Structure 1
Amino acid sequence: MTQSYYVACRSRFIDWGHLVITKYLSCFLILCSLSIPARGAGLQLLQGPGLEGAIWYPCSADPSDVPLGELAPPAVMSLRGVKDCSISPAKLPLVIFSHGRGAWFGAHHDTAEALADAGFAVAAINHPGDNANDSSRRDTLSVWGSRPADMVRLLNFLLKDWKDRDVVDHDRIGLFGFSLGGYTGLVLAGANPDTERFAARCTSKIGSCAELHSGASLPSLPRDTRIKAAVLADAALSTAFTQESVKGVQIPLQVWRSELGGYGVDAGGTSRLAGILPGPPEIHVVPADHYAFLAPCSPALAEANPRICIDTPPTFDRQAFHRDFDTSVIRFFRKHLVSQ
């Protein structure tokens, strides 16, 4: 098992058997070497039933602010990119994104833009009923099943109905998932949640916990073998997985977990989950809380929603971390989608 610990900027590398510890200090020159050349990602917006989101892809033009209109969540008006930039006919590897509880398709826009700049197509949608603009099914048991189904629907659209579907390489598809998006990715990769284990450890009187205690059953969960590799960050519902229930996961995984967790994600649970996944996965540990994996906030978003923008500890530099985070995600997908 390879495990890395991050602080802010790489200064030394220690290999002790199978444990790899990478420590970071403030270091401007090294951060510059890790950053990705700034170009404009092509950006197409999706606005249809069950498919509200965006597609990023390589583009050599200069970026600008692209207004999101009705797709915009509170305090976010635009994304950087080149709207409807023409797409090269070359076949592109594809990564689909699954956002966290109550978030939105652009919650990890910096990672999507970096992947597009590195030669990937990227697509993300709002999960209906569990996003920043629609909380109608948030925390319900139905979301356990609908989230993976949302990703299957997105992938079907991209491969069959998207106007630029011919640029997608069907054999090079990956997934990025954060929080409940991490759960989503595990299910699509072949994991089966153990609802009895989860119910025995939850005490809430509302939501999926209460539904399970009242005898409700888990909806049907899809697996999608088109997905060949996945990056999972602070996967939620970790208590619902056992070594037996994740043994069906047979794709390469890059797993990120925060040391502090929080906001519904238990740091001990994500650590246990990382340790039982087959593979073994490539594991990275970040000395911060759950929201460190969200894109760095604009001033307007930080003022409107400080909870997701203020890092713990206060010395944690989210912008510096994301330079390395995005670089590591690109490296992983290049290795498992492009080099294969």
Structure 2
Amino acid sequence: MKLVLKLLGGALALVVLAAAGLAASLVLSARTPKTPVGVTRVLAPDPGHAGVPVTLYYPTEAKPKLTWMGTSFARLATGGAVAPGAHPLVVITHGTGAGPVSHIDTALALAEAGYVVAAPMHPGDNFQDQSAVGTAAWFPDRARQVVRVNDYLLGSWKDHARLDPSRVGVFGFSAGGTTALIVAGGTPDLAGVATHCRQAPEFACQLMKPDLTAPQTWAHDPRVRAAVVAAPGIGFAFAPDGLKAVTAPVQLWTGAADTSVPTASNAGLVRDQLPEAEFHTVMRAGHFAFLAPCGPAGLLLPPMLCRDPKGFDRTAFHKSFNKQVVAFFDRTLGALAP
């Protein structure tokens, strides 16, 4: 019995030490913006539907403090006032089963550059609730939710005067990339998904429900003047001319080693319709390369989200990626005066 107690005590001590080590690593690796960034959470109304929870990142003059952001720490000014000025707005629409911190490093890079960044957690498609995923309402709902976020922030949000309604952009990854294209004017043909999936099954085909033939109402937003689209899912559904109404500049990204959302049937087909898009193929990058680098927080996340192909350095890539995203929005929405 004494031996058993000693073994249990030793095991418990190891667990405590491991937890303490992880906590220390998380604190030491806290994301620290170069200039103060504030964070707050709001709820955007969506009449007739559940409200859309939104995490906002923005420039502030308030003092940052160590803040837990769900899977990692960051030094942010929680609830700090938005810095004076008329700031451009970028909405980040996350991928399937994700949430408002999935692209936190990109959001912080934009906030450092003077942008107000809105990261909605899509009702029906997030890490807590996937009830809409694969249904006929999946993408119509997502696109409408982005439009409702813009409506709220540019209209009744208490700090709407701090936004420049003429400078609105959208960033989307995976299902969020598809959402961004729809918001920018794209119209996918979901009725053709079944045919594609019979001929060339891919990951999205495992998610889509059989009956997608019902007529859809697509929410577009002419206020969106630029879009960054990374690894867009079901790109094949926009063929042959579902993107003809997209006139805003697009920065399009794909991973050369993406086996979940292959370039040929997704970003490649989008590029065919948007030949003037700024196109980037990231060598050795898998699908999840566009998510924020995991760091020590990877121990708290599903392994597939943090696992990259051999030879690919996600942290190094994101230093370049974030700079290019900010530079694109600066060019297309107009950089803030120094």
Q: Secondary structure at the match of 1:132?
A: coil
Match of 1:142 in 2: 137
Indicate the structure (1 or 2) with the bigger Cα radius of gyration: 2
- Give aligned pairs, total: 294
2: CA distance between counterparts of 1:64 and 1:301?
23
Please report the TM-score for the alignment, with normalisation by the length of structure 1: 0.80
Between 177-186 and 135-144, the greater mean CA deviation after superposition: 135-144
Q: Does residue 1:277 correspond to 2:278, yes or no?
A: no
Q: Deviations over 1:113-161 (max 9, x none)?
A: 0000001111011110100011222222211210000101111110112
2: CA distance between counterparts of 1:218 and 1:324?
41
Q: Does structure 2 conserve the Cα–Cα contact (< 8 Å) formed by 1:259 and 1:285?
A: yes
Alignment partner of 1:39 out of 21, 30, 35: 35
Specify whether residues 279 and 266 from structure 1 end up closer, same or farther in structure 2 by C-alpha distance, changes over 3 A only.
Answer: closer
Percent identity over the alignment is: 35
Q: Does structure 2 conserve the Cα–Cα contact (< 8 Å) formed by 1:102 and 1:131?
A: yes
2: CA distance between counterparts of 1:207 and 1:326?
30
Match of 1:259 in 2: 256
Q: Deviations over 1:2-50 (max 9, x none)?
A: xxxxxxxxxxxxxxxxxxxxxxxxxxxxxxxxxx972331111225752
Gaps of 5+ in 2: 1-31, 45-49
Gaps of 5+ in 1: 1-35
Q: Does structure 2 conserve the Cα–Cα contact (< 8 Å) formed by 1:256 and 1:286?
A: yes
Between 130-139 and 171-180, the greater mean CA deviation after superposition: 130-139
Match of 1:224 in 2: 221
Q: How far apart are 1:63 and its partner, in Å?
A: 3.3
2: CA distance between counterparts of 1:218 and 1:296?
39
Alignment partner of 2:322 out of 298, 318, 326: 326
Alignment partner of 1:114 out of 109, 115, 119: 109
Q: Does structure 1 conserve the Cα–Cα contact (< 8 Å) formed by 2:133 and 2:208?
A: no
Q: Does structure 1 conserve the Cα–Cα contact (< 8 Å) formed by 2:64 and 2:76?
A: yes
Q: Deviations over 1:232-285 (max 9, x none)?
A: 00001111011421111111000011112233x122213422432335100011
Please report the TM-score for the alignment, with normalisation by the length of structure 2: 0.81
Alignment partner of 2:81 out of 57, 82, 86: 86
Task: Compare relative contact order (CA 8 Å, sep 6+) and give the higher one, 1 or 2.
Answer: 1
Match of 1:12 in 2: none
Equivalent residues in 2 for 1:1-340, closer than 5 Å? 38-46=34-42, 49-67=50-68, 72=70, 76=71, 79-203=74-198, 208-212=208-212, 216-263=213-260, 265-278=261-274, 280-287=276-283, 288-312=285-309, 314-338=310-334
Q: How far apart are 1:85 and its partner, in Å?
A: 1.6
Amino acid at match of 1:241: F
Over the residues paired in the alignment, what is the CA RMSD in angstroms? 2.2
